[in-house]
Amino acid sequence: METQLANIILFHRKRSGLTQLELAEMSGVGKNMVYELENGKQSVQLDNLLRILRVLNIELTFKSPLRESFLKEYPDADC
């Protein structure tokens, strides 16, 4: 999973024409965070990851066998 996430972030950053420093600055995280994520870091604060994904226009979607039931009970949920 971490390798797949690393590749997704690296691919999108390069296609966006951003350096690691530019992505870090736009995301409000340190350059080391971007470097570590692109190199498969296994643990990261969720809010930092979400900031980076938001800048790269990557949407995070949750999958669950109960997803449909959840959405019926919470129709305003954004997942």
Residue-wise pLDDT tens digits, 7-42 = 999 999 999 999 999 999 999 999 999 999 999 998
Query: Using only C-alpha atoms, what is the Rg of the chain?
Result: 14
* Best CA proximity match to 13, nearest among 28, 2, 1, 26: 26
* Best CA proximity match to 54, nearest among 62, 43, 46: 46
The owner of tokens 């938001």 is 54
* Best CA proximity match to 6, nearest among 46, 32, 38: 38
Q: What is the mean pLDDT of the chain?
A: 92
More confident residue, 41 or 78: 41
Neighbours of 17 (CB within 10 A): 7
CATH number of 1-79: 3.40.50.620, 3.20.20.210, 1.10.10.10, 1.10.260.40? 1.10.260.40
